[in-house]
Amino acid sequence: MAKPEKADRLPLWGHLRDKIDPIRYAEKSEQIRSGIAPDEYRAWREHPCTKALLYSLDADISGILSFWIAGAYSESDSVDGTAQAQAKARGMAQAINDVIELIHDMKPQEEE
């Protein structure tokens, strides 16, 4: 398929362009986060769903580490397979950790 001369000629392209714009999402996130009152943050952190989510994320990281310690990400017959499995596990742990850090970073300025 040929690339259009102007992205605006395809209505879907404009939608996709907006969807893949990280700056747009970061700005919206910051706008929402700046409006969170300290009491709203505390109530959210104490909510059972939030606590369950955080414990689930911690459990996922612990599981990845336990499997790694047990050698589950090592393949005796393939160095490449081991490298790929360990890279995948590291990527999963890093993604989960990023979510946990984002949750903790939502704390309003007055709370810090």
How high is the pLDDT of residue 19? 74
How high is the pLDDT of residue 55? 96
Asked if the model's pLDDT at residue 110 lies above 70, the reply is: no
Q: How far apart are alpha carbons 82 and 72 in whole angstroms? A: 9
pTM for this model (two decimals): 0.70
How confident is the model over 88-105, as pLDDT tens digits? 999 999 999 999 999 888
On whether the CB atoms of residues 55 and 45 are closer than 8 A, the answer is no
Burial 34-48 (b: 16+ CB within 10 A, else e): eeeeeeebeeeeeee
Domain boundaries, the chain: 37-111
More reliable by pLDDT, 89 or 9: 89
Cα-Cα end-to-end distance for the chain: 52
Q: How far apart are alpha carbons 71 and 43 in whole angstroms? A: 40
Q: How far apart are alpha carbons 52 and 81 in whole angstroms? A: 34
How confident is the model over 17-38, as pLDDT tens digits? 667 778 888 899 889 888 889 9
How high is the pLDDT of residue 20? 77
At 15, list the tokens.
């939608």
At 79, list the tokens.
């160095």
Number of helical (H) and strand (E) elements in the chain, helices listed first: 5, 0
